Each structure stands twice: as structure tokens, then as C-alpha cells.
Amino acid sequence: MTFQLLKTLHIVCVAGSYGLFFLRGVWSLTDSTIMLKRWVRIVPHVVDTLLLISAAGLAYMLGQYPFVDAWLTAKIIGLLLYIGLGFAALRKGLKNSTRLLAWLAAQATFAYIVLVAITRNPLPW
Ligand code: HEM
């Protein structure tokens, strides 16, 4: 597979992952029954798995790796933070105000990862 094709897949998954996380946050915080639908439980995991597989493929093809190249290290740390905040945002047991904050912080983290990707700089501002 060419680099450009894999990068396109990565970016499509980035958009899908964000869109689905945004919607799941809205649905979860408003107690929507859409959250119980089968596809809502499955599709985000498929998209996130493809996002990670394409990420690994891109890093390999570029010959740049996390913990070697700072911008990819920043992306991994950002990704872990995004996963943790996303987990908190969608967790029923927590207070709604905490979940809302986690949902917003997860989106800020996501924006940071995108900026790091575009600039290839861990300090993209
Ligand atoms: C939520 C997680 C992630 C988001 C939002 C994200 C976002 C992006 C975006 C928007 C691009 C395109 C940048 C451009 O147009 O130049 C990109 C490219 C790339 N990403 Fe990710 N990414 C994520 C996770 C990862 C991870 C975990 C890795 C590697 C370990 C990774 C490796 C790469 C590589 C190697 C490229 C190609 C960069 C280039 O061509 O200059 N990504 N990413």
C-alpha cells in the first residue's frame, strides 16, 4: 500500500474517531438510548483500531518512531491522554459535570494531536 493511501485512511479514521467520540459524548451526557444500539458499541472500536494500525504503518514507512522521534512520542502520550479522558467522559458512574469536563478536555487533546501531526512538532504553537 502506498504511503499516500495509508495516510488517507489514517485521516479518514481521525475524522471518524473524532465524530463518533463527539456524538457519543452528546448521547451519553443526554442519556440518549442511541448509546444502546449495537453499531454504537462496535463501530468506534473498529475505527480506532484502523486508526492505530494505519498510524503504525505510516511510522514504519516513514522510518520514524515513538520514543525516537519527539513528535511521535508526543502523539502517543496525547493518544493515551485522549483515551483516558474519553473513558472518563463516557463513564456512567461519574458526575455529569466531571464527564462534561473530560469530554471537552479530550477534544482539546485531540486538537493538540492533530496540530502535532501537521507540524511534526511536539510544541506546535
Ligand atoms: C488520536 C490520534 C491521532 C490523530 C488525531 C492523528 C492525526 C493525524 C493527522 C491529521 C495526520 C495528517 C498530517 C498531515 O496532513 O500532514 C497524521 C499523520 C500521521 N500520523 Fe497520526 N494521528 C493520531 C495517532 C497517531 C499515532 C499514535 C501515530 C504513530 C505512532 C501516528 C503517526 C502518524 C504519521 C507517521 C503520520 C504521517 C505524517 C506525515 O506524512 O508527515 N498518528 N496523523
Where exactly are the structural domains of the chain?
3-119
> For ligand 1, is residue 122 a contact (CB within 6 Å)?
no
- The pLDDT tens digits for 42-63 are 999 999 999 999 999 999 999 9
Q: Which residue has the cell 492533530?
A: 114
33: pLDDT confidence band, cut at 50, 70 and 90?
very high
More confident residue, 125 or 16: 16
Please, is 57 exposed, middle or buried when counting C-beta atoms within 10 Å of its C-beta (0-12, 13-18, 19+)? Answer: middle
CA of 81 to the centre of ligand 1 (A): 16
At residue 105, what is the residue type? Answer: A
Average pLDDT (73-87) is 98
pLDDT value, residue 1: 72
Other C-beta atoms within 10 Å of 87: how many?
Answer: 12
> For ligand 1, is residue 40 a contact (CB within 6 Å)?
no
- DSSP annotation of 120: T
CA of 96 to the centre of ligand 1 (A): 31
The three cell numbers of residue 1 are 500500500
